[in-house]
């Protein structure tokens, strides 16, 4: 067995840096009033809105109402918010004078940073790089984001092509004790907007002059509408089957005649409807931009439907094996792993387990942005062949030995699964432990063997995977550590890395 398994490097360093922003999104959820915001000074052409208004918001994106109580609007429309509670705010359009509910993540307070097309509040350095490296963007395309390493400060990310192929340069925007901002200390500005205005005309100290704001795609709404949870089965039109799995089929569907969604249909008898409803009520409160949005359920009869946001590029496993993922560089693959670790760090903070973390349960959107799906469902399964831990359906190759042998699940068993998931990512979808059956894997792992380093996998990345597979669960790293390690990987671990030929 030595050709398939190998002893891992041992290590107990599982201490991460301070937790980072969870990225769950800006908003004033469950509040009747917004927090105080220092407005941008009014300019001469801002004639319609008082700069001090705390209830006047601007539409960041177009929105077409889906239900009778929704308020449609165009990008740039001004809205007066009448009630700030929940994910859907009661608003009045200052353009049409109509009232209705609007998704809170589609609007921002006028004159605030969130209203600027170049400002990205919850955006990591890796996310910024992904966005700015999209083909077709012009040199100087930029965004400003909150700094991860120094909370309360900001960073400017710019697409540069002045010295070879496109790449991204990052500049820290510091602030003074009296609230001014600067990149170069000799040139200070009262607002970030003034920083942008200056460097659009002068590239002093920067790689190039900044030009266009990095384009923003319209976000998904948190839910399908205000107070929508139990969804009428008749409102769903199934369009095409996206895949099949242990628990049922996944379909692309249209809700209410206009909204694309994904629908997971659970096989009858897969899980107790009562247990599912209880768990679904917990799941709907777990939100993060690296977790697939749970929109609602159809639970009044079987088969139960789980309705979620639709991710454009489907399951990560298929994307890596058959889609554009076949051509991704290691840098992008490591970034995908970092995104997953970020989402799992959020679950870790809330002591919520996934139990079935694998590439088949990660979904891919645009620009190689990924989200975690199916968190929490595995523990509800009643299928005796799935529960039988050596059965063909049970995911032995992804499951920590304490969970596979004794049913002992913890966030640390999810960490073990994450290490296996990283091997799937770096091999672009190769089955873990190739050539071995589930029972052989279970037997060998108990003996202390671990999967051999995949081809083209850097030694430093393999060492991280092996830390995830330490025998004592408490010695395995936290997801916060894994996220920070992977997010900084090509800065701190492999700064000179280049993909080998044929990768």
Chain-centre distance for alpha carbon 95: 34
First to last CA, the chain: 26
Chain-centre distance for alpha carbon 319: 17
Q: Provide the pLDDT for residue 274.
A: 84
Provide the annotated active-site residues. Answer: 356
Judged on CB neighbours under 10 Å (0-12, 13-18, 19+), 322 is exposed
> pLDDT by residue (tens digit) across 61-74?
999 999 999 999 99
CB 475 within 8 A of CB 12: yes
Residue 487 tokens read as 């997010």
Task: Find all residues with CB under 8 Å of 128, minimum gap 6, and list them.
Answer: 120, 143, 145, 155, 157, 168, 170, 214
Has residue 284 got a pLDDT over 90? Answer: no
> pLDDT by residue (tens digit) across 431-456?
999 989 999 999 999 999 999 999 88
Mean pLDDT of the chain: 86
* DSSP type of residue 272: -
Percentage of the chain with pLDDT > 70? 84
CB atoms within 10 A of CB 70: 17
Which whole number is the average pLDDT over 130-150?
Answer: 92
Judged on CB neighbours under 10 Å (0-12, 13-18, 19+), 61 is middle
Q: Supply angle C-alpha 472, 476, 482, rounded to 5.
A: 170
> pLDDT by residue (tens digit) across 157-174?
999 998 888 999 999 999
Residue 290 tokens read as 């690296």
Q: Is 73 helix (H, G, I), strand (E, B) or coil?
A: strand
Has residue 16 got a pLDDT over 50? Answer: no
* Alpha-carbon dihedral 452, 455, 460, 466, rounded to 10 degrees: -20
Residues in the chain, total? 503
> pLDDT by residue (tens digit) across 332-342?
999 999 999 99
CA distance 108 to 73: 13
Residue 16 tokens read as 């991460």
CA distance 297 to 303: 11
Nearest to 293 by CA among 278, 279, 306: 306
Q: Supply angle C-alpha 50, 54, 60, rounded to 5.
A: 85
Which whole number is the average pLDDT over 75-97?
Answer: 97
Chain-centre distance for alpha carbon 232: 28
Strands of 180-286 (E only): list them: 181-182, 188-189, 236-244, 248-255, 259-266
pLDDT tier for residue 113 given thresholds of 50, 70 and 90: very high
Q: Provide the pLDDT for residue 329.
A: 92
Pairing of strands 259-266, 294-298: unpaired
Has residue 125 got a pLDDT over 70? Answer: yes
């Amino acid at each position: 067995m030595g050709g398939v398994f190998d002893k891992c490097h041992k290590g107990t360093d599982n201490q991460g840096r301070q937790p980072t922003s969870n990225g769950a999104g800006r908003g004033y959820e469950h509040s009747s009033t917004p927090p105080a915001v220092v407005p941008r000074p009014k300019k001469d052409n801002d004639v319609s809105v008082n700069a001090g208004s705390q209830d006047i918001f601007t539409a960041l994106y177009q929105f077409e109402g889906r239900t009778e109580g929704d308020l449609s609007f165009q990008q740039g429309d001004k809205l007066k918010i009448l009630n700030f509670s929940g994910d859907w705010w009661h608003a009045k359009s200052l353009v049409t004078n109509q009232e209705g509910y609007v998704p809170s993540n589609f609007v921002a307070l006028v004159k605030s940073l969130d209203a600027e097309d170049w400002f990205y509040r919850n955006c990591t350095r890796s996310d910024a790089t992904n966005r700015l490296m999209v083909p077709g963007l012009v040199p100087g395309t930029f965004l400003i984001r909150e700094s991860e390493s120094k909370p309360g400060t900001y960073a400017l990310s710019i697409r540069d092509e002045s010295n070879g192929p496109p790449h991204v340069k990052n500049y820290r925007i510091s602030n003074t004790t009296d609230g001014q901002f600067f990149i170069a200390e000799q040139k200070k500005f009262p607002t970030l907007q003034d920083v942008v205005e200056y460097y659009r005309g002068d590239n002093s100290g920067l790689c190039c002059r900044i030009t266009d704001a990095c384009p923003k795609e319209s976000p998904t709404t948190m839910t399908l509408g205000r107070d929508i949870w139990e969804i009428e089965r008749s409102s769903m039109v199934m369009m095409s089957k996206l895949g099949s799995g242990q628990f049922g089929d996944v379909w692309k569907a249209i809700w209410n005649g206009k909204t694309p969604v994904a629908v997971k249909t659970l096989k009858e008898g897969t899980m107790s409807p009562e247990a599912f409803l209880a768990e679904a009520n917990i799941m709907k409160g777990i939100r993060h931009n690296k977790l697939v949005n749970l929109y609602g359920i159809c639970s009044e009869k079987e088969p139960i439907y789980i309705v979620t946001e639709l991710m454009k590029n489907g399951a990560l496993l298929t994307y890596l094996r058959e889609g554009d993922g076949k051509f991704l560089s290691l840098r992008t693959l490591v970034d995908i792993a970092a995104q997953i670790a970020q989402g799992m760090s959020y679950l870790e903070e809330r002591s919520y387990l996934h139990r079935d973390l694998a590439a088949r349960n990660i979904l891919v959107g645009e620009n190689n942005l990924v989200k975690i799906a199916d968190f929490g469902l595995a523990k509800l399964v009643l299928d005796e062949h799935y529960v039988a831990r050596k059965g063909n359906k049970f995911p032995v190759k992804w499951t920590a030995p304490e969970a596979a042998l004794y049913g002992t699940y913890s966030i640390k068993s999810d960490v073990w699964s994450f290490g296996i998931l990283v091997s799937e990512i770096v091999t672009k979808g190769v089955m873990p432990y190739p050539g071995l059956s589930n029972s052989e894997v279970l037997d060998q792992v108990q003996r202390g063997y671990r999967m051999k380093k995949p081809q083209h996998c850097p030694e430093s990345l393999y060492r991280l995977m092996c830390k995830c597979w330490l025998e004592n669960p408490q010695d395995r790293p936290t997801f916060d550590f894994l996220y920070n390690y992977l997010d900084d990987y090509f800065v701190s671990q492999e700064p000179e890395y280049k993909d080998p030929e044929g990768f």
